[in-house]
Amino acid sequence: MKKRKIILTIIILLLVIILTIIFIPIKIFFINMYRDNRMPRQGIHEMQKDFEENKELILIIRDYFAASRHARLSYPSRSGESGMLWSGTMSRNIAISDENMEHAIYRLFSSGYRQVVKEDSFISFIRWGNTGAGVGVVYSIGGAIPCSTAIQFLTELEPLTEDGWFYFEVHYNTYRTRLRNQNR
């Protein structure tokens, strides 16, 4: 009888451990997915305020990206390595060569920013986003107004109080619907 209780106790403990190992990562995944999709979207007034609060960091990053000889840059890198940028050329990562830039990236992302992307003459700072939608600010290196060819799935664009800076929203489904309606 004692032997049977010990074996039963061991089996129950093993089941608890196995279920814990299996279900905790699944639970974390779904909680994070839900949280990302439920994040409050920021409108132009909130983004203007956020831009002003993080302006020093954003300008350090903007200057670094603008001075780069690469037409495309992205942080975080595709591999997710800290201190690396994705250059868009043959999926090559390049190291961040400036300590101020690395510190600014760290602080900006700690405050909630999700991605910084340079596409030709535009640098986008994405504050909120998920698959198919996003909100942020964009800087025009040459002063041109960004369009849907510069920012994929662009649905809204408004100037900020700072010259060369714009609030933007991207949304795949809205963009696709507008495009379909234009082609009719």
For residues 72 and 121, membership in a common domain is answered with yes
**33, 51: one domain:** no
In the numeric block, which tokens belong to residue 112? 């909630």
Domain count, the chain: 2
Residue among 101, 119, 19, 106 nearest 60 (CA): 101
Same domain, 64 and 3: no
Q: Write down the pLDDT at residue 23.
A: 67
Assess whether 32 and 48 both reside in one domain.
Answer: no
Of the pLDDT bands very low, low, confident and very high (cuts 50, 70, 90), residue 39 is: very low
- What CA–CA distances, in Å, run from 11 to 6, 19, 23, 155? 9, 12, 18, 56
More confident residue, 82 or 112: 112
Do 19 and 48 share a domain, yes or no?
no
Q: Are residues 70 and 160 in the same domain?
A: yes
- Same domain for 65 and 33: no
Q: By percentage, how much of the chain surpasses pLDDT 70? A: 77
Q: What is the pLDDT of residue 38?
A: 43
Look-up of token digits 């700690």? 110
The secondary element (H helix, E strand) that includes residue 166 is strand 165-171
pLDDT at 34: 43
Same domain, 4 and 77: no
Check whether residue 53 and residue 121 sit in a common domain. Answer: yes
Whether residues 85 and 162 share a domain: the answer is yes
Q: How far apart are CA 151 and CA 136, in angstroms?
A: 11
pLDDT at 53: 94
Cα separation, 84 vs 80, whole angstroms = 8
Distance between CA atoms of 120 and 139, rounded to whole angstroms? 11
* Reported pTM: 0.70
Predicted confidence (pLDDT) at residue 96 exceeds the cutoff of 70: yes
Handedness of CA 173, 178, 182, 184 (dihedral sign): positive
CB 125 within 8 Å of CB 58: yes
- DSSP 3-state assignment of 111? coil
| Parent domain of 108 | 44-182
The CA-to-CA distance between both ends of the chain, in Å, stands at: 79
Q: Express each pLDDT in 52-74 by its tens digit.
A: 999 999 999 999 989 988 778 88
Are residues 72 and 20 part of one domain? no
pLDDT score for 79: 60
By three-state DSSP, how is residue 113 classified?
coil
Give per-residue pLDDT as tens, 126-182. Answer: 888 777 788 899 999 988 888 766 677 778 889 999 999 999 888 777 666 766 777
